[in-house]
Amino acid sequence: MARFRLTQAMIIGQFRWPAGNTVADSAAAAQPGDVVWTGLSSTTMVEGMTPLDASATSMRNASQWASVPLRNVIFGVDSIG
């Protein structure tokens, strides 16, 4: 049950989410307005995902992005998918 804030736009298949959206890995973890991506895991997450809870932090730490510093700002160029 992980939630992430996007600091850059993300395109997965036919879905496109701009920066600033919140992505959850399940409907149970999601809050109103969140995007639910059931395929979200440590192997499918992208660099511009900032963890919002302990589960998301654990998922990020198990990913290839674990050593990349977290981004706290959204740059204009990254917000357009």
The pLDDT tens digits for 41-76 are 999 999 899 999 999 999 999 999 999 998 887 776
pLDDT at 49: 93
On the CB side of 61, how many CA atoms lie within 13 Å of its CA? 7
Take residue 7 and report the two structure tokens written for it: 């600091």
pLDDT at 71: 81
Report which of 61, 18, 69 is spatially closest to residue 42, judged by C-alpha positions: 61
